[in-house]
Structure 1
Amino acid sequence: MTDEELRNLISQTLTCRIDQRENCNEKMTKFLKRCFYHSGQYNNVDDFLKLDSKLIKEEEGRLSNRLFYLSIPPNLFVDVAKCASTKASSKTGWTRVIVEKPFGRDLESSKQLSTSLKQYLTEDQIFRIDHYLGKEIVENLIVLRFSNLVFEPLWSRNYIRNVQFIFSEDFGTEGRGGYFDNYGIIRDIMQNHLLQTLALFAMETPISLDAEDIRNEKVKVLRSMRPLQLEDVIVGQYKGFSKDGKTYQGYTDDPTVPKDSITPTFAAAALFINNARWDGVPFLMKAGKALNKRRAEIRVQFRHVPGNLYKRSFGTDLDKATNELVLRIQPNEAIYLKINNKVPGLGMRLDRSDLNLLYKAKYRKEIPDAYERLLLDAIGGEQRLFIRSDELDAAWPLFTPLLKELEEKRISPELYPYGSRGPVGAHYLAAKHNVRWGDLNEDDS
């Protein structure tokens, strides 16, 4: 396409969120003038030389910094990194490359990818992007833990009974089945988004907020974790469902998905960290497509109060008496703490109340998209929210044996209706570890 066609395409979705008194149109016009389209093959050295010439011309002798964003199929990463590094690197400034997930399909392919990229780039030039690490609540996780005395002493096996990482989407693959079928929900969501969030949640206090210090602590957590066993995992796949005259397609009804596919669209897993802080605490994850609602959240369920004076008020269900801290990542970002409270009146009746920080009520400013934060960090050379190669080396061994076993034994996923809460097996898995999923209460929505 021409430069003009590219600019027209961008302008259809380009927005400007700045002070209303500013002249937004002028800024947008200025930005669009700096957008150019250049056609070429991913693995063609000559095409990258032409790109280099075009960039030099547009840079007009100014300091040149170049950031290549590889939002392309993973099998092309190395070709582009090679050509960009050898033929289109900046001569006067920095050159960096953003790599979109998936970072391999297993430990072997991940290591192969890292080794190949490092033939042409140094580790500090590679920015492995996981947009979940740019989410406002995930960013706030470190602040919540390390700057609030009320939480930091509680953040251990002594007070926390279990931690849940929940991700659900209320839509299916919808035409993206070809891509999804090659990876499945465990690789697509659990091994990166949820595991990265878990590492931030469970890490020890870093020496500083420097990127390397934070990533060092994350690696320690991942290396302390036990590889997943088949008995601690449930997999599911959504099937077609009809309601009120409307029919929802099942996963294998998608024309881009093989009819006999056993790729999971849902998974629940129990993970454990073998260190002094978290010994014996179940970290439960569940992620799924075509469920009853869209949500992503971390739920911290605390232990029961010893010798609870008010147990009569809660009957035999002591779970109703426990505190729970919920960090809702999406939608409607919020942090709330469930506490026990006396209902006003002459009698002694207790209920559970929420101490609630709802972001849209407290902060009127629009929350930036996660990608905005991460792209700005990449331009600034800030690696804190990007994944280091040794993190991948520590993360993949947790899932690779399980993934191979699922595929080699062709384990059939449990079917669940489109728009439901997911397979029943997920509840049995939680019960096995004496846990109840916290998102079952519709009042939390």
Structure 2
Amino acid sequence: MCLEQQDQADRKPKLAITVLGATGDLAKVETFPALLDLFGHGMLEDAVIVGFARKDKTRNEFHDIVSEAMENSHVCEEMPELKDSIPGFLERVHYFKGSYDSDESMAELDSFLKEEEGKLREGPTLRLFYMAIPPFVFPGAAQAIKSKAMSDNTRLIVEKPFGHDLSSATDLQEKLGALFEEDAIYRMDHFLGYEINQSILAVRFGNVFLEPLMNRHHVASVRITLKEDFDLQGRGGYFTKYGVIRDNVQNHLLQMLCLVAMENPSTSGACADLRDAKLEVLNAMEVPDAKDMVLGQYEGADGKPGYLEDESIPEEDREAAKRTATFVQMVVRINNERWKGVNFIVKAGKAVEESKCEIRVQFKEPAPTCVLKDVVPKRDELVMRVSPHQAVYMRMNVKSPGLSTDLVQSEMDLTYSRKYPDIYTPSAYTRLILAAIQGDSQSFVRDDEMLRAWELFTPLLDKIEAEKMQPTLYPRGSRGPPEADEMLSQYGYVRPQGKWSRPDRPNCAHSRLMSK
């Protein structure tokens, strides 16, 4: 199976895609493999692709770099047949050396693009600039593009982080907003492109039995988790300045929370922008309280290094590194009619015992009834597992088979690799780049929701830094600080007994989530 072919002219414009930062890890690991995926599925028939970077390289040298990266990518691992498309794809890929914020470089790029666009079919051109570059370079690059490299239709894809607090995010937004209209700026949070996260609204609003239960009357708590079993070696210099709340919670997990908690975005039968519904959730949120939070940092165990043993942490940042959280569990509260009183427990941890991203909606116990007599039923759960082994399943109570009248908990299980073993599922980057080409912005982060997210988390981050809060040490490979598990019952969550039966292999979902 492949991506749906879009035959409408407005869905398949003549394309000029420029990847800024083309020799960096993000471009090599995610952007170019996603573009190869689109090309292999016939979605880039009229396109020219330019890798733009500051390094002095020939086109052939750049092709060698990109080719090796694509052959070893998760996209080609899941679809080996895409390797056959690499030679044809590279025929469309050019390399351009220049400075991102230079008018002169952008003017030269504009001339080059016009020449290459002239070789494509007649018609208007969509120019898509993918900014796989650090955020502090965004404004200068956007200014140069605006001044010298615009086309009939120009769009920017910008990667997180969108600032590191409310002030920096506001400054960045004001600079970009002064140059481009909001509908031309596509802020990518790649978690919004994962298959299960794309399915959250379908699961909620497409099932008449479920949506009436998604409220404070029936839900005991909601738990959203991102655990990663790999460490931060080589990233310590960056991570010390950001920490796990900025890296994972304020963006990825908060976006997932909004999809779980939002109202139906349909209004009077017409589909509204679902980002309006997400913004309503954010506006109803309380600023997280440090009293409802556990911070942790992994230390060395079993001969493997701890966070502070990372040589990429500069000497001048060593004291700050001691206070850098690589683990957090916190409670988020939504003060509206639907969710008032329900705790949303958000957890993110590095170098823990497993890699897993999932949502667990835990329902309240049923009321006593003569049918159940003295049996105490366990809580039902709706689980949406993003990775690995993407799945949607429900834990529910049934009578134990046989003559017993005991209750046992079983699962109604939709595991994608079992149900859809041959279905092609695009990577998050493939899906989102295609959406940007098609002008579908609903899976991207809008300016107002981005700023509101920073309004919520900046006071907490300021308090952590001002009070020099010290994270609790936990051995790498463990579940994290024991206090995190101990606090769960205080906030309405009961850890289920037994483990879900996993399939043998993941299906088109990253085993190692690229949280960046």
TM-score with structure 2 setting the length: 0.80
**Residue correspondence of structure 1 range 143-292 to structure 2 within 5 A:** 143-207=202-266, 213-242=273-302, 247-257=303-313, 258-260=317-319, 261=321, 262-292=323-353
- Out of 363, 383, 389, the residue aligned to residue 302 of structure 1 is 363
Provide the residue aligned with 2:176 in structure 1: 117
Provide the residue aligned with 1:385 in structure 2: 443
How far the C-alpha of 1:444 sits from its partner, in A, is: 6.1
1:35-92 superposed Cα distances (whole Å, 9 cap, x missing partner): 01101112211011111111111111643211111111111111111111211111xx
Aligned residues of 2:343 and 2:492 also touching (Cα < 8 A): no
User: CA–CA distance in 1 between the matches of 2:464 and 2:501?
Assistant: 33
Q: Which amino acid aligns with 1:239?
A: E
Q: Which amino acid aligns with 2:293?
A: V
User: CA–CA distance in 1 between the matches of 2:176 and 2:451?
Assistant: 15
Moved more, 111-120 or 342-351: 342-351
Provide the residue aligned with 1:6 in structure 2: 62
Moved more, 248-257 or 285-294: 248-257
Q: Which amino acid aligns with 1:77?
A: F
Do residues 312 (structure 1) and 371 (structure 2) align? no
1:84-136 superposed Cα distances (whole Å, 9 cap, x missing partner): 1211111xx31000110001111111111110101111101100000000010
How far the C-alpha of 1:311 sits from its partner, in A, is: 6.7
Aligned residues of 1:165 and 1:299 also touching (Cα < 8 A): yes
- Out of 392, 403, 422, the residue aligned to residue 346 of structure 1 is 403
How far the C-alpha of 1:353 sits from its partner, in A, is: 0.4
User: CA–CA distance in 1 between the matches of 2:232 and 2:271?
Assistant: 35
Provide the residue aligned with 1:322 in structure 2: 379
**Residue correspondence of structure 1 range 52-91 to structure 2 within 5 A:** 52-60=110-118, 62=122, 63-90=124-151
How far the C-alpha of 1:11 sits from its partner, in A, is: 2.0
SS in 2 for 1:312: coil
Q: Which amino acid aligns with 2:325?
A: P
1:11-35 superposed Cα distances (whole Å, 9 cap, x missing partner): 2243687xx9x9973x433321110
SS in 1 for 2:494: coil
Do residues 356 (structure 1) and 418 (structure 2) align? no
1:206-255 superposed Cα distances (whole Å, 9 cap, x missing partner): 1269885211111010000000111011110000001xxxx111000111
Moved more, 227-236 or 412-421: 227-236
Q: Which amino acid aligns with 1:345?
A: G
SS in 2 for 1:46: helix
Q: Which amino acid aligns with 2:297?
A: Q
Unaligned runs of 5+ in 1: none
Provide the residue aligned with 1:34 in structure 2: 92
Aligned residues of 2:265 and 2:272 also touching (Cα < 8 A): no
SS in 1 for 2:463: helix
**Residue correspondence of structure 1 range 364-443 to structure 2 within 5 A:** 364-437=422-495, 441-443=498-500
User: CA–CA distance in 2 between the matches of 1:159 and 1:23?
Assistant: 46
Provide the residue aligned with 1:334 in structure 2: 391
Q: Which amino acid aligns with 1:349?
A: D
Moved more, 45-54 or 255-264: 255-264
User: CA–CA distance in 2 between the matches of 1:109 and 1:186?
Assistant: 16
Provide the residue aligned with 2:42 in structure 1: none
Cα pair distance change 1:441/1:94, threshold 3 Å: farther
How far the C-alpha of 1:175 sits from its partner, in A, is: 0.7
Provide the residue aligned with 2:52 in structure 1: none
Q: Which amino acid aligns with 2:456?
A: L
User: CA–CA distance in 2 between the matches of 1:434 and 1:28?
Assistant: 52
User: CA–CA distance in 2 between the matches of 1:387 and 1:404?
Assistant: 24
User: CA–CA distance in 2 between the matches of 1:196 and 1:98?
Assistant: 18
Aligned residues of 1:170 and 1:419 also touching (Cα < 8 A): yes
User: CA–CA distance in 2 between the matches of 1:217 and 1:23?
Assistant: 38
Q: Which amino acid aligns with 2:60?
A: E
User: CA–CA distance in 1 between the matches of 2:261 and 2:166?
Assistant: 23
1:130-151 superposed Cα distances (whole Å, 9 cap, x missing partner): 0000010010001111111011
Aligned residues of 2:135 and 2:161 also touching (Cα < 8 A): yes
User: CA–CA distance in 2 between the matches of 1:263 and 1:212?
Assistant: 40
Q: Which amino acid aligns with 2:292?
A: D
Aligned residues of 1:67 and 1:97 also touching (Cα < 8 A): yes
SS in 1 for 2:97: coil
Q: Which amino acid aligns with 1:339?
A: M
User: CA–CA distance in 1 between the matches of 2:347 and 2:499?
Assistant: 17
Aligned residues of 1:211 and 1:382 also touching (Cα < 8 A): no
Cα pair distance change 1:220/1:288, threshold 3 Å: same
SS in 2 for 1:49: helix
Q: Which amino acid aligns with 1:355?
A: M
How far the C-alpha of 1:430 sits from its partner, in A, is: 1.9
Unaligned runs of 5+ in 2: 1-56, 503-516
How far the C-alpha of 1:197 sits from its partner, in A, is: 0.7
TM-score with structure 1 setting the length: 0.92
User: CA–CA distance in 2 between the matches of 1:341 and 1:385?
Assistant: 38
User: CA–CA distance in 1 between the matches of 2:170 and 2:338?
Assistant: 30
User: CA–CA distance in 1 between the matches of 2:272 and 2:360?
Assistant: 27
Q: Which amino acid aligns with 1:323?
A: D
Cα pair distance change 1:300/1:33, threshold 3 Å: same
User: CA–CA distance in 1 between the matches of 2:419 and 2:244?
Assistant: 34
SS in 2 for 1:383: coil
Q: Which amino acid aligns with 1:241?
A: A
1:333-364 superposed Cα distances (whole Å, 9 cap, x missing partner): 00110011122222222211011000011112
